[in-house]
Structure 1
Amino acid sequence: MELSLSPSSIRIADISPHRGTFSRYGRFPINHTSITFSHFSLKCSKNYSLPGWYSLRSCSTTGPQRHHRPLTVSASSQLGAAGSDPVLNKVYEFKDAVWRFLRPHTIRGTALGSTSLVARALMENPNLIRWSLLFKAFSGLLALLCGNGYIVGINQIYDIGIDKVNKPYLPIAAGDLSVQSAWFLVSLFAVTGLLTVGINFGPFITSLYCLGLFLGTIYSVPPFRMKRFPVVAFLIIATVRGFLLNFGVYYATRAALGLTFEWSFPVAFITSFVTLFALVIAITKDLPDVEGDRKFQISTLATKLGVRNISFLGSGLLLLNYVGALLAAIFMPQAFRRNLMIPAHTVLALSLIFQAWLLEKSNYTQEAISGFYRFIWNLFYAEYIMFPFL
């Protein structure tokens, strides 16, 4: 992409499509009330049609083109020296591509989930905390992030055509990361994760880790490609992100503390809660992708039942989750802190209802669907943040 302003000019090598912004190396606002120019032209080699983007062609010679919403453009952090160091720029571009390749919202979920479960186990056994456990905790987090990177990466490698329609901002689909580089990264993630787990956590946790990688592989890779079958795909996602993550992390933490595994009511609660939540994520993740899934004949519940029905289904399942949390707090006061668990889950449930109402009111526009899906992930994060204190 090249952005030029005359008589002065600014060059931007490329863009990364995040909703409503152009982001790459840093952000600087272009305020139409404070700049004047005689000509504005935008040349872009890529066609993005994401909600919230501006399509700029030209403007009046008497002043700047005005918009009802602010426009934020991102370029190099040293704007005046953009392009002066091509090696450094390539490093920045590769780093940005790798970060998008890792799908940051999934990284946040994995990191929050593992940290929350470790914190809970430590709070239950504060007398067993030792500084020597810190290295093992970080090695476990590294292994989980590597497994996460492998699973989301292998999916992108085999979904390039679909992503060019549904998610053109992903690095392979956008041409910012080669397939060869992607293969190198997923191989590195898999090997690093397996070695880290095998060295630090023993055969049982290593077997659970291998099961997670296997399920993530058959989800995306032909000839299995289980994502073609909605029910199987949902079960795989719920198993990996729900049961395996929660059970495995808690088991490994207790083992590191020298304790045998045993279920506690709070851990059983978060495992079942997040497993159902992961199922909802698996269902609703297809909502923004209906166009591409139909084009490539990918069968999902969203393509079969429609966006409206799936959004109601996902919201209903989440509300069941919150009702279950309220009942657990009411009938097991010895296991949970009622004064936090009841009001917190009530607020989250009401927020979900409000977001579902906003989606209905918007008539299910692409922008509203994407916002609804992001909100579901925020609810997911919120549950893990609260869990150590419930």
Structure 2
Amino acid sequence: MHAYLQLMRIANCAMAAFAALIGVLIAFRIIFEQPLQAFPFFEAGSVGIAVMLVTGAGNTINDYFDVGIDTINRPDRPIPSGKVSKQQALFFAAFLFIAGIAIAGFINLVCALIALFNSLLLVLYARNLKATPFFGNAAVGYLTGSTFLFGAAVFGMEGLYALSVLFLLATLATIAREIVKDIEDMEGDRKAGATTLPILIGKKQAGFVASALALIGIAVSPYPYMNSMLGEYYLPLVGIADLLFIAGVYAVLKNDPALSSKRFKLAMFMALFAFVAGA
């Protein structure tokens, strides 16, 4: 059992489930002016379980396709160590995907469609997109942002609209940070024969792409307040997040990707806190 939990990366799954529950809570507070007693606890719990299963399936299928690399770099992982066979890992991933999509289907059609699409994307990422410049970064960004969106999908299309800006901010910030991390890892990636965006177009140009994505996120961040979707606490807190994003942009343009990555990560947490406080 422990080996299968390792395959799932259960702590990572729990964090994803928590993010989805935050998505449910924020969407509920934006859409409804009701006390928390009216909160859809059963649906929220179902969302958390579905996200844990699909995330665990994605981590498992990632290990399935990475077994060659892990045999060299991480021989203690369940598949290279022989604790779980490749076939067992594949069947386990399929079971988790099917179970996660099925639970999402019991919530509503929107949740089911997001779970199905994300499951297919996780397989495609593990098999092909991970080694594809920018598209691999974009897939990680979307999957991160869609965790919040999946929680909001409990309330159907109205929930998706309510969290559209948080989804966009999380997606853009994650893509930018992934590109910055690729800049930081250029030397090792080049030796390993990888083709990342910085290797393909150059460190400086990749920094410009990451900066542009972060600045787009900053530009749209005031929208929930201006559209009366979030309260007065949102604006000053998201302003702090925006300043951290700007600091991250400055760091990457000054050729300090390690510092930039840390600032982007901190800015993402502050932006999430701003949404929670504003809701």
TM-score range, shorter chain: 0.7 to 0.9
The corresponding residue for 1:212 is 118
Q: Which protein is bigger by CA-based radius of gyration?
A: 1
After superposition, the Cα gap between the structure-2 partners of 1:99 and 1:383, relative to the gap in structure 1 and judged at 3 Å, is farther
The corresponding residue for 2:104 is 197
The corresponding residue for 1:323 is 219
Counterparts of 1:101 and 1:374, CA distance in 2: 26
Equivalences for 1:88-237 in 2 at 5 Å?
94=2, 98-99=5-6, 102=9, 104=11, 108=15, 110-123=16-29, 124-127=31-34, 133-162=40-69, 168=74, 171=77, 175=81, 178-180=84-86, 182-183=89-90, 185-198=92-105, 200-221=106-127, 225-237=128-140
Could you tell me whether the CA contact under 8 Å between 1:114 and 1:249 is conserved in 2? Answer: yes
Q: Deviations over 1:299-334 (max 9, x none)?
A: 2102223445534532442233123324x367x263
Could you tell me whether the CA contact under 8 Å between 1:234 and 1:283 is conserved in 2? Answer: yes
The amino acid across from 2:199 in the alignment is T
More helix by share: 2
After superposition, the Cα gap between the structure-2 partners of 1:131 and 1:184, relative to the gap in structure 1 and judged at 3 Å, is farther
The corresponding residue for 1:346 is 239
Equivalences for 1:254-333 in 2 at 5 Å?
254=155, 261-262=157-158, 266-307=162-203, 309-326=205-222, 328=223, 332=226
After superposition, the Cα gap between the structure-2 partners of 1:164 and 1:283, relative to the gap in structure 1 and judged at 3 Å, is farther
Residue 147 of structure 1: how far off its partner (Å): 1.2
The corresponding residue for 2:271 is 383
Higher relative contact order (CA 8 A, sep 6+): 2
More strand by share: 1
The amino acid across from 1:379 in the alignment is A
Residue 342 of structure 1: how far off its partner (Å): 3.4
Equivalences for 1:8-19 in 2 at 5 Å?
none
After superposition, the Cα gap between the structure-2 partners of 1:316 and 1:324, relative to the gap in structure 1 and judged at 3 Å, is same
The corresponding residue for 2:152 is 250
Counterparts of 2:108 and 2:39, CA distance in 1: 17
Counterparts of 1:140 and 1:122, CA distance in 2: 14
Could you tell me whether the CA contact under 8 Å between 1:161 and 1:173 is conserved in 2? Answer: no
The amino acid across from 2:194 in the alignment is I
Residue 262 of structure 1: how far off its partner (Å): 2.7
The corresponding residue for 2:143 is 240
TM-score using structure 2 length: 0.76
Q: Tell me, which stretches of 5 or more residues in structure 2 are unaligned?
A: none
The amino acid across from 2:107 in the alignment is F
Q: Deviations over 1:254-295 (max 9, x none)?
A: 25xxxxx33687533223322322432443353454345334
Counterparts of 1:173 and 1:373, CA distance in 2: 31
After superposition, the Cα gap between the structure-2 partners of 1:162 and 1:209, relative to the gap in structure 1 and judged at 3 Å, is same
Identical-pair percentage: 18
After superposition, the Cα gap between the structure-2 partners of 1:278 and 1:354, relative to the gap in structure 1 and judged at 3 Å, is closer
Counterparts of 1:197 and 1:300, CA distance in 2: 34
The corresponding residue for 1:27 is none
The amino acid across from 1:156 in the alignment is D
Residue 114 of structure 1: how far off its partner (Å): 1.5
Residue 177 of structure 1: how far off its partner (Å): 5.8
Counterparts of 2:205 and 2:114, CA distance in 1: 35
Could you tell me whether the CA contact under 8 Å between 1:356 and 1:372 is conserved in 2? Answer: yes
Counterparts of 1:337 and 1:302, CA distance in 2: 39
Could you tell me whether the CA contact under 8 Å between 2:24 and 2:152 is conserved in 1? Answer: yes
Matched, 1:335 2:238: no
Counterparts of 2:224 and 2:108, CA distance in 1: 36
Counterparts of 1:100 and 1:359, CA distance in 2: 34
After superposition, the Cα gap between the structure-2 partners of 1:163 and 1:287, relative to the gap in structure 1 and judged at 3 Å, is farther
Counterparts of 2:207 and 2:82, CA distance in 1: 32
Counterparts of 1:132 and 1:265, CA distance in 2: 19
Residue 117 of structure 1: how far off its partner (Å): 2.0
After superposition, the Cα gap between the structure-2 partners of 1:374 and 1:147, relative to the gap in structure 1 and judged at 3 Å, is farther
Could you tell me whether the CA contact under 8 Å between 2:7 and 2:63 is conserved in 1? Answer: no
After superposition, the Cα gap between the structure-2 partners of 1:283 and 1:118, relative to the gap in structure 1 and judged at 3 Å, is same
Counterparts of 1:184 and 1:251, CA distance in 2: 28
After superposition, the Cα gap between the structure-2 partners of 1:268 and 1:351, relative to the gap in structure 1 and judged at 3 Å, is closer
